[in-house]
Amino acid sequence: MFNALTGLTQKTGNFPGVTVDKKSGYTNINNQQIEVVDLPGTYSLNPEAEDERVAANTIKNINDDELIIVVADVTNLKRNLFLCTQIIDLGKPVVLVLNMMDLLQKSNQRINLDKISALLQIPVVPVNARIKKGINELKEIVSKYQFKKASFSSNKLTPSERYEKITTVISACLQGGEANRWINRTKKIDNILTHKIYGYLIFLSILFVIFQAIFSWSAYPMELIEEGFAMLGGLVESWMPKGVLSDLIVNGILAGLSGIVVFVPQIALLFAFITILEDTGYMSRVSFLMDRLLRPFGLNGKSIIPLISSIACAVPAIMSTRSINNLKERLITIMVAPLISCSARIPVYTLLIALVIPAEQQVGIFNLQGIVMMGLYLIGFLAALFAALIFKWILKSKGKTNFIMEMPIYRLPKWSNIGFSVYNKVKVFLFEAGKIIIAISIVLWGLSSYGPGDTFEKIEEKYASPAFENEDENEINTLIASEKLEASYAAYLGKTIEPLIKPIGFDWKIGISLVTSFAAREVFVGTMATLYSVGDEDNTTSIREKMLQAKNPETGDRLYNRATTFSLLIFYAFAMQCMATLAVVYRETKSYKWPIIQVVYMGALAYVSSWIVYTIFS
């Protein structure tokens, strides 16, 4: 509805908790800019959860020059008019919008709009927000609107009396057809989707399909992007005069950028799947199936929605916890959600898994890389449950808990909504994360291309001496490059923290990546790409190939062997490396305490687990 009015692409879904904060935009009515504020959904003016509180408080404080548009689902008018008449009785200016008119027609029901408008004493507009039908009519009514105090009931009604009065209004205005059609169809679908056995099987299958899709379907476009960037790098090198600038563009910016763009197909697929699950109404059923399982961990069935959306990104997930009305359950959900592997880990996982597990390896019909990937998500989920259990013991319980949740009727996903969501997330990923990544790539390129004092000149002098005259030129260039990198500022930085991370199998190059990816996990790949590109004159090999060739200077074995790679994978699965998440945790908990606890406990968990993994495999 909000999107239809403002032309914005705010995410919507088929259950409460998708919109949890006020969002505003502008619409143009008769060449006048009108501000439109979208409020979180609420069932009444007596809020029970944080998101409903936001809505109720805003409504109560509205001025006479503002106008409240109540968007009511016409397939369940009775409950929707409850809120609407409460607002009318507050003496606030209201326009009632009846949404989902298409469903009403399909169930052969007829509604008398003039009558309902007369009985409620407010303007009523029928719309179908999905196909933007009725939006112009709404704009016209808003432009002509003149506030005249209406009252639905003269005296203060008890809720039951209010419902009774609403029922008489509805029976006078809504006739014929089968009002139960949609809910009956929904229940038939629920017979399968919440079935004792099939229910869980279907849920697991859906998750499995998502992981296989992310891994195998996206392989082809990813390869294309990788090859495209390698070509572009070669082109720039052949066009531009050799020098610092060409080096900066190819080894600094392009290397960092390709490490990011290549993951767009996977992230797009992931967000498409999550949006479909939300749009159809299936997420509420997953909550229903999971409530009993999550309760022993101090969580609520409603926690599953943030936990599943954390697969995409912890930031919106933590915001969506506002629909959990018990404070303790909400806090636990916030604290453990970042342990669920998010889309920013995909680049890291993909790169590292490919180093130790051959792409062609199959287990039955499944790709082994995909299975390892799913295993990492499973580990993240188990760790989240374990952490929840500990928080449940530590935290004091406040207030009652319940699991009263609406089961929305099933609707087909709205494809444009999926398109918007995918487009928005990819945009944020590319531009927001991309900005940080390019900045860090440039700084890194600088740090790794220059060293303190005259160390670099000395290295060049050393290899220019007659002792190396007969050696192969390419070999010498490689030797110079690697010695230079080891003497660079970046190496100093990495080597400072090397003693700390050596026990878990990391060298100074990984150390630098750990520092840079504290801003965001996906920076790891860009950092690796930059570090391994410096000194690679031809720049034709991918970052994966370069890392495969990397040797441990002490033993001469492959640096990224199983032990180090698995240790690194576990570290990235558990460590709290995301500034954006910490910021949103601070905002939602309104205290520094919780984000700090989060960094410390996740860091400790990551370090200890990595050490265990490294010790086992080496």
Provide the binding-site residues for other proteins, judged by CB under 8 A: 43-44, 46, 48, 75-76, 78-79, 82, 159-160, 163, 179-180, 183, 186-187, 190-191, 194-197, 199-200, 284, 287-289, 291-293, 301, 400, 402-407, 409
Select 48 or 498, whichever has its Cβ closest to other proteins: 48
**In the complex, least distance from residue 194 CB atom to other proteins, rounded to whole angstroms:** 6
Backbone dihedral angles phi then psi of residue 71, each to the nearest 5 degrees: -95, 115
| Per-residue DSSP letter, 558 | B
Select 177 or 221, whichever has its Cβ closest to other proteins: 177
Select 56 or 613, whichever has its Cβ closest to other proteins: 56
Select 53 or 562, whichever has its Cβ closest to other proteins: 53
| Pure H helices in 8-153 | 50-60, 77-89, 101-106, 113-120, 135-144
Select 190 or 498, whichever has its Cβ closest to other proteins: 190
**In the complex, least distance from residue 288 CB atom to other proteins, rounded to whole angstroms:** 5
Whole-number Å distance between alpha carbons of 123 and 543: 62
Residues in Cβ contact with 523 at an 8 Å cutoff, skipping those fewer than 6 apart: 433, 436, 437, 440, 513, 516, 517
**In the complex, least distance from residue 331 CB atom to other proteins, rounded to whole angstroms:** 20
Contact 283, 15 (CB under 8 A): yes
Contact 521, 567 (CB under 8 A): no
CA 478, 483, 488, 493 torsion-angle sign: positive
**In the complex, least distance from residue 403 CB atom to other proteins, rounded to whole angstroms:** 5
**In the complex, least distance from residue 405 CB atom to other proteins, rounded to whole angstroms:** 5
**In the complex, least distance from residue 397 CB atom to other proteins, rounded to whole angstroms:** 14
Whole-number Å distance between alpha carbons of 252 and 476: 23
**In the complex, least distance from residue 330 CB atom to other proteins, rounded to whole angstroms:** 17
The bridge status of strand 94-99 relative to strand 68-73 is: parallel
Select 40 or 123, whichever has its Cβ closest to other proteins: 40
Whole-number Å distance between alpha carbons of 503 and 507: 10
Backbone dihedral angles phi then psi of residue 94, each to the nearest 5 degrees: -130, 140
Centre a 10 Å sphere on the Cβ of residue 154 and count the other Cβ atoms it contains.
7
Select 403 or 463, whichever has its Cβ closest to other proteins: 403
**In the complex, least distance from residue 413 CB atom to other proteins, rounded to whole angstroms:** 20
The bridge status of strand 362-363 relative to strand 366-367 is: antiparallel
DSSP per-residue letters across 120-184: HTS-EEE-BTTTTBTHHHHHHHHHH-------S-SSPPPHHHHHHHHHHHHHHHEESS-TTHHHH
Select 56 or 512, whichever has its Cβ closest to other proteins: 56
Select 293 or 382, whichever has its Cβ closest to other proteins: 293
**In the complex, least distance from residue 325 CB atom to other proteins, rounded to whole angstroms:** 9
Q: Residue 349 has which token pair?
A: 């996982």
Select 46 or 474, whichever has its Cβ closest to other proteins: 46
Q: Residue 472 has which token pair?
A: 């192969």
How far is CA 524 from each of CA 260, 302, 346, 572, 607, rounded to the nearest angstrom?
Answer: 10, 33, 11, 10, 17
Judging by beta carbons within 10 Å of its beta carbon (0-12, 13-18, 19+), is residue 85 exposed, middle or buried? buried
Select 76 or 552, whichever has its Cβ closest to other proteins: 76
Select 404 or 467, whichever has its Cβ closest to other proteins: 404
Q: Residue 412 has which token pair?
A: 């087909």
**In the complex, least distance from residue 82 CB atom to other proteins, rounded to whole angstroms:** 7
Whole-number Å distance between alpha carbons of 402 and 300: 8
Name the nearest CA neighbour of 96 among 64, 112, 129, 73: 73
**In the complex, least distance from residue 42 CB atom to other proteins, rounded to whole angstroms:** 9
**In the complex, least distance from residue 180 CB atom to other proteins, rounded to whole angstroms:** 7
